[in-house]
Amino acid sequence: MKIWFILCSLVFSTTTFAAEWVINKDHSEILFKVDYLNVSELTGRFSEYSGKVEIDDKSGLPKNITITVLTNSIDTGHKMRDNHLSTNDFFESRQYPELIFKSSDIKNVGNNQFKANGVLTIKNVNRPTLITFSLTDSVTDTWGYENKFVKFQSKLNRRDFKLNWNKTLDNNKYLVGDEVSYWGVFQIQPSKALTPSSKHMLPDTEYIRQREDKLRKDKTEAKDESAFSKKLRNLINGK
Tell me the per-residue pLDDT of 116-137, one tens digit each, with 9 for 90 and over: 999 999 999 999 999 999 999 9
Q: Compute how many other C-beta atoms are within 10 angstroms of the C-beta atom of residue 118.
A: 21
What is the pTM (predicted TM-score) of this model? 0.79
Tell me the per-residue pLDDT of 45-60, one tens digit each, with 9 for 90 and over: 999 999 999 999 888 9
Can you give the residue ranges of every domain in the chain? 16-202, 203-239
Q: What is the pLDDT of residue 11?
A: 45
pLDDT per residue, tens digit, the chain (239 aa), is 555 555 455 444 445 588 999 999 999 999 999 998 888 999 999 999 999 999 998 889 999 999 999 999 999 999 999 999 999 999 999 999 999 999 999 999 999 999 999 999 999 999 999 999 999 999 998 888 999 999 999 999 999 999 999 888 777 678 899 999 999 999 999 999 999 998 777 676 776 667 767 776 776 666 665 666 666 566 666 65
Q: Which fold has domain 16-202?
A: Lipocalin (2.40.128)
Question: Under 8 Å CB-to-CB from 147, ≥6 apart: which residues?
Answer: 24, 138, 139, 140, 141, 187, 188, 189, 195
Terminal CA-CA length for the chain: 13
DSSP annotation of 195: P
